[in-house]
Chain A
Amino acid sequence: MPEAFEPKIVAFFCNWCTYLAADLAGTSRMKYAPNARIVRVMCSGRVDPQFVLEAFAKGADGVLIGGCHPGDCHYQEGNYKALRRCVLLRRLLHQMGIEDERFRLEWISAAEGERVKAVVNDMVEKLRALGPRVPLRHEEVA
């Protein structure tokens, strides 16, 4: 019997809000899907679109970026820059054949452990429905 598809999510969480929320979810012993590989970054504005492309190129089925709520950024406006880039990046990814559900930006404050659980669970469910993303390497293309 073939193994059930387990989506791989690369999650970039900001140090000041979403990472703390994930920490809270952990210390509160919340149970949620184990599919997200969390990468802690100082700010959602630090997430270079190159990181997102590389995650997909290396086989991620989805990429999740978590930052502070608008107005709450530790660096004043890093999350706004993340928002602007993500809106345009999602459209670019769409043109490259990556479905919108595979790329997600969420504002999650340090107190919202419950929200980390809900977002990750929801994303896993949607990715499961989409199925695996088969990455092609350039060498395989010609």
Chain B
Amino acid sequence: MKPKVAFYWCASCGGCDEAIIDLDETLLDLLSSVEIVFWPAAMDFKLKDLQGMANGSILVSFINGAIRNSDQREMAELLRARSRMVVAFGSCAQLGGIPGLANLSGAKSIFAEVYPGGVTPRSFHQENGHALRLPDFFDNVSALGSVVDVDYYVPGCPPTPSIIREAINRLMGAELPPKGTVLAPDKALCETCPRKDTRPEKLLVREFKRTHQILPDQQTCLLAQGLVCLGPGTRAGCEAKCIDGNMPCTGCFGPTSRVRDFGAKALSAVASVADCNEEALTEEVMNGVPDPAGTFYRYSLPSSLLTPQHME
């Protein structure tokens, strides 16, 4: 009997499911060796199909997306019970991702912004004898690992086809990696960057620029050109696709194993290349990074050592 595999999405954009489709012919090879028993984004499955399965009957569940509401948590818990392995797939599941930036505001101010005029969705509503139950909207977004036990992580926004293929091969192989492994190379993107040789020995930047402010040279290290490139602090494995597109790294592959807080470490790496030794000038240079939380925690705010405190 072929091993059973499930794919599921929580708070995500759908790009991770797209990334699996992007495996192209590899997906057909995969289908010859595994049986997909649940994948609502791409095939017709219902909740009762999953409920009807025995605990531990799925070999591995790939769950993408962060946990924003009670429905996602319940689905994650159900998949956890049915699966022998759970893989947090993509930045949102691994670290909280882009939806996690919502943690800079609480549920109350999010609703006030999205539903002006006092119309607020409620979890339970009754009308003419009919009752409607909606998922509870949590005050904060969490990474998958804060809600259920996660065995492995596949980084990326979205993970690249080669990272996905490699991850699947390792999970189907005879020897499993140690629990908690991030299935990608454990070194910084800079080490594998095609522009590595143009990075000066002593990198100093007089001014930080945003991508719309300059046309960067296509061969030179982007950080050396003043763009906030998070390559020094981000895990390799993405094949430097953004760099190839002449765009700086925004950190979607997350930290290497030596780092505990991605945002703090990325901030440290970027701030220390600023060429300023005097307080007023430093304040001015740092104006080039107008949104530090959104820049350094773009994909990882819910995994920060600090939970944002809502001032509401």
Contacts and interface: CB of A to CB of B under 8 A. Distances in A.
Interface in B288-312: 289, 291-293, 296, 302, 304-311
A96 B292 CA distance: 10
B274 A96 contact: no
A48 B268 contact: yes
Contacts of B272: 81, 84-85
A96 B286 CA distance: 17
Nearest to A56: B306
Contacts of B308: 95-97
A52 B268 CA distance: 12
A70 B261 contact: no
Contacts of A133: 309
Contact of A138 (B73, B286, B302): B302
A106 to B, nearest CB: 12
B302 A84 contact: no
A70 B277 CA distance: 8
B29 interface: no
Contacts of A53: 261, 264, 304-306
Given A84-B271, A92-B263, A98 B309 contact: yes
A133 to B, nearest CB: 8
Contacts of B282: 83-84, 87
Given A81-B272, A88-B289, A54 B309 contact: no
B260 interface: yes
Contacts of A96: 104, 293, 304, 306, 308-309
Main secondary structure of the interface of A (DSSP, over half): helix
A91 interface: yes
B233 to A, nearest CB: 11
B309 A136 contact: yes
A89 interface: yes
Contact of B146 (A48, A70, A84, A142): A142
Contacts of A54: 260-261, 305
Given A48-B265, A49-B268, A81-B272, A141 B277 contact: no
A87 B283 contact: yes
B102 to A, nearest CB: 12
Nearest to B208: A88
A72 to B, nearest CB: 12
Interface stretch (B20-28, B48-56, B80-88, B137-145): B137-145
A91 B292 contact: yes
18 contacts: A48-B268, A49-B267, A84-B271, A84-B276, A84-B282, A85-B267, A87-B286, A88-B267, A89-B267, A92-B292, A95-B104, A96-B104, A96-B306, A97-B309, A137-B307, A142-B139, A142-B140, A142-B142
Interface of B: 67, 73, 104, 138-140, 142, 146-147, 259-261, 263-265, 267-268, 270-272, 274, 276-279, 282-283, 285-286, 289, 291-293, 296, 302, 304-311
Given A87-B282, A87-B283, A97-B310, 5 more contacts: A48-B268, A54-B261, A136-B307, A138-B302, A141-B138
